[in-house]
Copies of this chain bind each other. A is one copy, B any other.
Amino acid sequence: MMIIDNLQYANWSEKIFKQMREGKVDAVHVTISYHETFRETVLNFEKWNLWFDKYSNLIIKGSTAADIDLAKKTNRTAIFFGFQNPSPIEDDIGLIQILHTLGARFMQLTYNNQSLLATGCYEDNDAGITRMGKQVIKEMNRVGMVVDMSHSADQSTIQAVEISERPIAITHANPFSWHPALRNKRDNVIEAVVSNGGMIGFSLYPHHLKNGSQCTLADFCSMVAQSADKYGVGSLGIGSDLCQDQPDSIVEWMRVGRWSKTIDYGEGSSDNPGFPKQPDWFSDNRDFKNIEKGLTDVGFDKDEIEAVMGKNWYNFYTDNFIGLD
């Protein structure tokens, strides 16, 4: 079994890296920047360089799918990097290759707001991919950085699929038809993404789950089964959106960054401003076995479970983390 979680944003520590090993997680796509500038993003890479040195028995830096094989062989977890907002490239298209060289493999064209590149899912109007956005998609295609539209608006996402010459991804979201959250994706959006070789990673973040923190494992796995029927099992993976051990100040940073002087609660509310409680069957990296079991219980066979738990992302990495470096 290969386990790949295609989105986490934890408050990283030796404890979490050890839990990854206990959970036999072979690779994680880590959000390394939200609203950081280029220089701040470089500071985040510096921090990870220290961790790769200090915890070299637990984690390795991932550049290509081959690093997952190496990680598996040496009983470690490969860490791949991505941005949830294009702020690290600022207004400089040349920074895409620079950041790819430093290790970035995914970039969302937007977080919740309009960016220089596209429209976020919280905006009233979706103007689609901008002039710079078109150039950026082309450059991301060239260097081997995957376009991630998890937080983008519908038309922007569909246009991104049309413009991109490579598959794109929704790394962490669920179907809107299952749970109508603003961040979840309508069928036509998911269809557009997967029709082009793209992937969707299912989220375990309570605001994306039916009944939130009370969502049952059976409900979640039934949704995966329905998605397999609709989109084909080969386009599905996990992108848990696990924000383990983060203080609530971080969810405020994720939502508000530096763009507003007034608090914006995003998927939360003034009654419930902090991180929501995880469902009890998915608290940390040791709980992927629960999902495996849940998938068995809703009728997936062994090959299908392997595909959803990691093999599909592995194949996607193999095909898309091409690169110049």
Contact = CB atoms under 8 A, between A and B. Distances in A.
Contacts of A49: 94, 97-98
Given A39-B38, A39-B39, A46 B95 contact: yes
A180 B63 CA distance: 50
A110 to B, nearest CB: 23
Interface residues of A, number: 17
B38 A98 contact: no
Nearest to A103: B101
A98 B46 contact: yes
Interface in A9-52: 38-39, 42-43, 45-47, 49-50
Interface in A41-82: 42-43, 45-47, 49-50
Interface string A121-135: 000000000000000
Given A102-B101, A102-B102, A94 B43 contact: yes
A303 interface: no
A229 interface: no
Contacts of A38: 39, 42
A271 interface: no
Interface in A83-104: 92, 94-95, 97-98, 101-103
8 contacts: A42-B98, A45-B98, A46-B94, A47-B94, A49-B94, A50-B94, A101-B102, A102-B102
